[in-house]
Amino acid sequence: MSRESRDGLLVLAATPLGDAKDASARLIDALATADVVAAEDTRRLRWLAAALGVTVSGRVISHYDAVEAARLPGLLEDVRAGRTVLVVTDAGMPAVSDPGYRLVAAAAAEGLPVTCLPGPSAVTTALVLSGLPVERFCFEGFAPRRGGERRRWLETLVAEPRAVVFFESPHRLAETLADAVDVLGAERAAAVCRELTKTHEEVLRGPLSELAAWAEEKDRVRGEITVVLAGAAPTAAPSVESLVGAVEERVADGERLKDAVAAVATAAGVPKRELYAAALAHR
């Protein structure tokens, strides 16, 4: 991260989730040498630098959600002017439910150099600790705050075959897990990961019903929460014979047989030819 380079550089760097010893050597070097450090919380930055024994010699500015747009022009100008701009969040990877992606998009649009210092991420850490099949997964950010929106969001996950990971506030966790039981089913496997990499790290695994009961009974859930849901179990496609009735109903309503077969077969995920043959045999 030498400042002597004639080309500016935008650097996004992952910071420790809790244990400062998870910081990479490249992050330590970047903190010491960057011309500008854009931090989600400047106080947390100072704490991290002190814990790592590094002196931040560059200009430090705040870079949180409410000021992200306002900071963008100045940070881009710094990169254009040949400076190294380092972006860090409170914990984990910038741009993952934290400020960063707008700056990357704007820099990329101008052809300015952008790089990333990989490292800790609550998303991947929770997936690994969940004990669930996570070969394929999707990240949903923070769960919606309002009950109605949250339930509608959960409904989109009913048939999601991939593992789902999301963040949640500790004071809304019990409500979210209760809604998940109602929408996704009591037996859907899940894991609640709390305070990852910190002294009081805790991972609870089990069906949603058990996790919801734990959250409800606990006086107060504390700390940073990441939830992992198992993907929905695959459902077997219905037999073509069981779909003939739906075809006949559409035909009775005036639809052509071929059109009715095509619509029903597409919706059910069965071969049109087989359903057409079954419908003819039924007649």
Residue 13 has pLDDT above 60, yes or no: yes
Give residue 234's pLDDT: 79
Contact 154, 184 (CB under 8 A): yes
Strand partners, 139: 165
Residue 1 has pLDDT above 60, yes or no: no
Query: What is the SS3 assignment for 194?
Result: strand
- At 2, the pLDDT band (50, 70, 90 cuts) reads very low
Kindly state the tokens that stand for 195.
Answer: 């305070």
Question: How far is the C-alpha of 258 from the C-alpha of 275, rounded, in Å?
Answer: 10
Residue 3 has pLDDT above 80, yes or no: no
Average pLDDT rounded to a whole number, residues 120-145: 96
Kindly state the tokens that stand for 235.
Answer: 């459902």
Check if CATH label 3.40.47.10 holds for domain 9-120. no
Q: 217-259 pLDDT, tens per residue?
A: 887 789 999 999 999 987 767 788 889 999 999 999 999 999 9
The architecture of the domain spanning 123-229 is 2-Layer Sandwich (3.30)
Mean pLDDT, all residues of the chain: 93
Q: 252-282 pLDDT, tens per residue?
A: 999 999 999 999 988 788 899 999 999 999 8
Give residue 268's pLDDT: 81
Q: 80-129 pLDDT, tens per residue?
A: 999 999 999 999 999 998 999 999 999 999 999 999 999 999 999 999 99
Residue 5 has pLDDT above 50, yes or no: no
Tokens 């010893």 map to which residue?
A: 21
Kindly state the tokens that stand for 232.
Answer: 């929905």
Quickly list H helices, the chain.
25-33, 42-52, 68-80, 101-109, 122-130, 147-155, 173-184, 208-217, 240-252, 257-268, 272-282
Q: 169-178 pLDDT, tens per residue?
A: 999 999 999 9
Tokens 């002196």 map to which residue?
A: 55
Residue at 81: amino acid letter? A
- At 6, the pLDDT band (50, 70, 90 cuts) reads low
Q: 50-86 pLDDT, tens per residue?
A: 999 999 999 999 999 999 999 999 999 999 999 999 9
Residue among 238, 241, 242, 276 at smallest CA distance from 260: 276
